[in-house]
């Protein structure tokens, strides 16, 4: 039997199904409650029960002491409601509300999505989870002290494994390793989440997403988050690549297109190959947006990819289509043979 939970002081309300914890249901419905390990060991998800009854679940005694429990405190990563409830807990509203962590991680799975794109899934230690906002990134901390930054491609609610899309840059200090010697179960070290590239949840404006190459990664996270929260905002994805093979997960937005009436997908190729038999849009991806929208004053635009694309999009959208400067959000990926980074702008 499902139960209604109301969060105070916001008044937000969501439904918890039989097999869900309060935290799982809140994240599924798009409400960002604080958490850390998600297994009752750290206490980060602690809040107060104002009304109703719950099953406290299995947790570590040091994470929820008896005297805290007597005062109505509970660990929402483990607790399941036995009735309709009201709880008091701080909601995460911006990146400043999230704790940045440094921790080891293990390579769980490597999957080549294209000749030069590797999907890397990483697993955190048993008592750790990384809370983040859709669109943020992590830094890998290398042994020589340098860092390499990659956007998270999974949505925040789907955080059992962290997903990264890493493009191979020949001569790249880290990407050469990813494509040659890195193997499953290898240990890396990360810091995150980082960056200010995330969906502004306090807006009801339609959203245009512009991805170039592996700039699709953070936008995939954003869109899957938007779908999970059942937003009714218009969502338009433009994904630009050189040739058809560089749209390395093109079947995924096609699936979204079939399932989501408020979603549109426009792939754009800049250097289509003869074998592609391409009948779709061609040219630069931001120019496709310019061709389709005479007025962007009522939109938000989220752009991710190479700096030149991001800069061209910002200038043209703001100066020629009326997009407010504060409605343009970007993540610029900077590539170099000896230093590879994906940095937020």
Domain shared by 187 and 300, yes or no: no
Q: Per-residue pLDDT tens for 233-270?
A: 999 999 999 999 999 999 999 999 999 999 999 999 99
Separation between Cα atoms, residue 150 and residue 216, nearest integer Å: 12
Map residue 90 onto helix, strand or coil. Answer: coil
Query: Would the pLDDT of 339 be above 50?
Result: no
Q: What is the CATH number of the domain that holds 13?
A: 3.10.20.30
Separation between Cα atoms, residue 276 and residue 295, nearest integer Å: 32
Phi-psi region of 178 (alpha: psi -120 to 50; beta: other; left: phi over 0): alpha
| CA dist list (Å): 319 to 241, 281, 345 | 25, 24, 19
Domain boundary among 44, 63, 91: 91
Query: Would the pLDDT of 337 be above 80?
Result: no
Of 153, 149, 165, residue with least CA distance to 111: 165
CA 170 to chain CA centroid, nearest Å: 27
Domain shared by 256 and 321, yes or no: yes
Domain shared by 104 and 72, yes or no: no
Domain region containing 67: 3-91
Q: Per-residue pLDDT tens for 16-62?
A: 999 899 999 998 887 888 887 788 877 889 999 999 999 999 998 88
202 in a structural domain: no
Map residue 305 onto helix, strand or coil. Answer: strand
Domain shared by 16 and 82, yes or no: yes
Domain shared by 275 and 171, yes or no: no
201 in a structural domain: no
**Which helix (H) or strand (E) is 332 found in, with range?**
strand 328-334
Q: What is the CATH number of the domain that holds 232?
A: 3.40.50.80
Q: Per-residue pLDDT tens for 162-210?
A: 999 999 999 988 999 999 999 999 999 999 998 878 898 889 999 999 9
199 in a structural domain: no
pLDDT of amino acid 335: 53
Domain shared by 334 and 217, yes or no: yes
Total domains, the chain: 3
Please give, one letter per residue, the 3-state secondary structure of 103-122. Answer: EEEEEEEEEEEECCEEEEEE
Res. 336 pLDDT band, cuts 50 70 90: very low
Domain shared by 327 and 214, yes or no: yes
Domain shared by 87 and 112, yes or no: no
Of 219, 201, 208, 220, residue with least CA distance to 313: 208
Domain shared by 247 and 305, yes or no: yes
Beta-carbon contacts of 202 under 8 Å, excluding residues fewer than 6 positions away, are: none
**Please, what is the average pLDDT of the chain?**
91
Separation between Cα atoms, residue 166 and residue 156, nearest integer Å: 19
Q: What is the CATH number of the domain that holds 185?
A: 2.40.30.10
Separation between Cα atoms, residue 131 and residue 36, nearest integer Å: 7
The percent of residues above 70 in pLDDT, for the chain, comes to 96
Q: What is the pairing mode between strands 3-8 and 13-16?
A: antiparallel
Query: Would the pLDDT of 344 be above 70?
Result: no
pLDDT of amino acid 178: 96
């Amino acid at each position: 039997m499902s139960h209604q939970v109301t969060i105070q002081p916001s008044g937000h309300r969501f439904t918890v199904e039989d097999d869900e914890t309060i935290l799982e249901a809140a994240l599924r419905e798009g409400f960002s409650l604080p958490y850390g390990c998600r297994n009752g060991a750290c206490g980060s998800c602690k809040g107060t029960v104002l009304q109703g009854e719950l099953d406290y679940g299995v947790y570590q005694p040091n994470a929820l002491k008896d005297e805290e429990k007597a005062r109505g405190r509970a660990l929402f990563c483990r607790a399941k409601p036995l009735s309709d409830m009201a709880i008091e807990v701080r909601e995460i509203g911006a990146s400043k509300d999230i704790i940045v962590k440094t921790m080891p991680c293990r390579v769980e799975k490597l999957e080549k999505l294209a000749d030069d794109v590797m999907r890397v899934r990483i697993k955190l230690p048993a008592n750790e989870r990384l809370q983040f906002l859709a669109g943020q990134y992590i830094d890998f901390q290398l042994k020589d002290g340098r860092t390499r930054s990659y956007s998270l491609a999974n949505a925040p609610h789907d955080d059992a494994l962290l997903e990264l899309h890493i493009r191979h840059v020949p001569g790249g200090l880290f990407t050469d390793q990813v494509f040659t010697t890195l193997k499953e179960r290898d240990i890396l070290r990360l810091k995150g989440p980082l960056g200010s590239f995330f969906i502004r949840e306090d807006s009801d404006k339609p959203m245009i997403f512009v991805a170039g190459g592996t700039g699709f990664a953070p936008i995939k996270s954003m869109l899957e988050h938007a779908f999970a929260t059942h937003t009714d905002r218009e969502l338009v994805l433009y994904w630009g690549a050189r040739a058809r093979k560089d749209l390395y997960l093109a079947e995924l937005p096609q699936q979204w297109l079939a399932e989501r009436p408020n979603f549109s997908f426009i792939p754009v190729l800049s250097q289509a190959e003869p074998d592609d038999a391409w009948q779709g849009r061609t040219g630069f991806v931001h120019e496709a947006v310019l061709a389709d929208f005479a007025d962007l004053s009522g939109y938000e635009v989220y752009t991710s990819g190479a700096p030149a694309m991001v800069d061209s999009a910002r200038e043209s959208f703001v100066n020629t289509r009326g997009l407010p400067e504060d409605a343009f959000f970007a993540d610029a990926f900077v590539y170099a043979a000896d230093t590879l980074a994906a940095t937020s702008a």
